[in-house]
């Protein structure tokens, strides 16, 4: 899954996805939920739909989180924000 899903969601929009209950307690399911939490400010989990086979729940994600600020390629900064190459 892309970690920058928020760039595909318009302002005021939401991203909705389904997760099968059989996979949610295990590593990949937990990582998936963690990635949603990192990509969006709000992640709502619906109740389990037991009539679905296999049972599933829906994640409704809103308000994309601001992407981390990246330094331009080739830019090296020290711990205080000073340019490493300047002396």
Task: Assign 3-class secondary structure to 73-86.
Answer: CCCCECCCCCECCC
DSSP state of 49: B
C-alpha pair distances (Å), 74 with each of 65, 71, 77, 84, 85 = 26, 8, 10, 11, 11
Please list the residues that pair with 15 across neighbouring strands.
61
pLDDT in the model for residue 86: 47
Q: Quick: pLDDT tens for 9-27.
A: 777 888 899 999 888 888 8
Q: Quick: pLDDT tens for 25-61.
A: 888 888 888 888 888 899 999 999 999 999 999 999 9
């Amino acid at each position: 899954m892309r970690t920058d899903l928020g760039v595909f969601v318009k302002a005021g929009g939401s991203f909705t996805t389904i997760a099968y209950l059989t996979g949610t307690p295990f590593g990949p399911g937990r990582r998936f939920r963690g990635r949603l939490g990192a990509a969006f400010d709000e992640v709502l989990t619906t109740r389990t739909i037991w009539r679905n086979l296999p049972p599933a729940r829906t994640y409704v994600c809103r308000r994309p989180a601001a992407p981390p600020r990246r330094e331009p390629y080739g830019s090296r900064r020290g711990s205080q924000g000073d340019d490493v190459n300047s002396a």
